[in-house]
Structure 1
Amino acid sequence: MCHAYSVTTNIEAIRQMVQTIFRFDVAANIGNLAPQTGVYPDMLAPIIRNRPGLERELVKVRWGMPTSSQALYQAAQARADKIAKKQGRDLTADEFAELLRMEPDRGTHNVRNTKSQHWKRWLGPEFRCIVPFTSFAEVSSEIGPDGKKLGNTWFAFNDSRPLAFFAGIFAPQWTSVRKTSEGLITTDLFAFLTTDPNNVVAVANPDAMPVILRTPEETEIWMTAPWEEAQKLQRPLPDGVLQVVSVGNKEDPPEENFPAPPAQQDLF
């Protein structure tokens, strides 16, 4: 699964790309967008999302969709069992309900099984988004010359790391406990789809790669088409597409190699 990515393109470059290539306007309700060379789960990151009856908007949203209710129930039950053992009594129904309500949910940052009832509620066009990125990371278990695991293997379309987009979904105004220190909060959340890897990504992760939209036509299908058509985009890129641009770094590009990107650098 993809656990990190970078987006180093500025707001105007993203807006110009969607206006000139995708041919739709986007409102930038985001303030300044500093280069993010390492986006990790639960961080804020930019997405472009649909708004019913309005133009699409570029906003920053927290990465990690809601975890399934079954998984949260199981986690709460495990905690309840520990508490019961410590206190020498079972929790009451009200106590367990409160425990479940406050169960921390760190979020699910990749969406794979789109046939799951948990995800179906967010697969309509009104909940779809595109997620800008310039490179993404998979954790490699390969051992390097120093005897240590290689760690993050970063992929992009080429060394210049052109702007591209993941196929994403978002949940508006979801109430949950993301961190115990925060308590209950209500916020927008997003994640992006994954699929089988192509032969380039499979070297680091033989199980999955993000769903990447390559053309304006694919982007328009993802943002507007019924799920029966849009789901066909949940497929790997062709073999040979993408390349490894960095290995073993927590961010990409590594700080010492971070270039200033061209104003309209993109994939298309």
Structure 2
Amino acid sequence: MNRNHPTYRMSEAQAALAARYGVTAEYPPDLTIPLPELFPKRAAWTVRYAVGERILDVMTWGWPRTVPGARGPRETQVTNVRNLESPMWRNALSKPTQRCLVPVTSFSEYGPGEKGNLPLYWFDVPSRPIFSFAGIWRPAVEGAVFAFLTCDPNSVVAPIHPKAMPLILHEEDEARWLNGELNDLVAPLPAQLMTVGAPE
């Protein structure tokens, strides 16, 4: 099964998310969320602080960016944050109000193989049915958007995708991320906490 982009899954309903993240505020209905496999430019759940408490929020995955093209400027979406020193990300990373958590139940990466028929592998964290990518967000013309950070891969992900892996936070570090801490949080989740399934 091939797709245009690696994806992630969030297969839990919002009641489970609210319990997992300690959200007591009202949240939007499930009707705003697509199928559990989430793609760029689609709506997805995030968790952030608002008026001093955690809320569930629906945002679009993909940070708009205008780039030059043969027929003039065009807009693309950047889905992940790799270079933390880039001016594109520096402002959002410096503001705790623009931090968010991206709830995940599993994520995918393409492995090596024949072009046009790359195998897709799914990764999960068995001890944590819902885990979190470290994300940033901002308002946009059509509503809030988000992207999530990546880091060097661990020994489970590296043989399949040696370039990077999503920055998965330890549960005890989620509040630190939302409160604006950064440096020591940018590290791969230990490999012994993860598993990978057979290729699709």
Give TM-score scaled by structure 2 length. Answer: 0.87
How much does 1:204 deviate? 1.1
Q: Secondary structure at the match of 2:60?
A: strand
Q: Secondary structure at the match of 1:141?
A: coil
Task: Report the counterpart of residue 176 of structure 2 in structure 1.
Answer: 221
Higher RCO, Cα 8 Å, sep 6+? 1
How much does 1:233 deviate? 1.0
Distance 2:26 2:170 in 1: 23
Q: How does 1:35-74 map to 2 (within 5 A)?
A: 36-51=35-50, 53-67=51-65, 69=66, 72=67
| Higher gyration radius (CA) | 1
Name structure 2 gaps, 5 residues minimum. Answer: none
Distance 1:161 1:150 in 2: 28
Matched, 1:165 2:132: yes
CA RMSD in angstroms, aligned pairs only: 2.3
Task: Report the counterpart of residue 152 of structure 1 in structure 2.
Answer: 120
Contact 1:194–1:208 (CA<8 Å) still a contact in 2? yes
Matched, 1:119 2:122: no
Distance 1:43 1:113 in 2: 24
Q: Which residue identity is paired with 1:151?
A: P
Distance 1:50 1:206 in 2: 33
Contact 1:125–1:223 (CA<8 Å) still a contact in 2? yes
Matched, 1:128 2:128: no
Deviation string 1:32-63 (CA, Å, 9 cap, x unpaired) is 26683311111111001222x34222121110
Contact 1:4–1:136 (CA<8 Å) still a contact in 2? yes
Contact 2:110–2:119 (CA<8 Å) still a contact in 1? yes
Contact 1:42–1:63 (CA<8 Å) still a contact in 2? yes
| Higher share in helix | 1
Contact 1:46–1:60 (CA<8 Å) still a contact in 2? yes
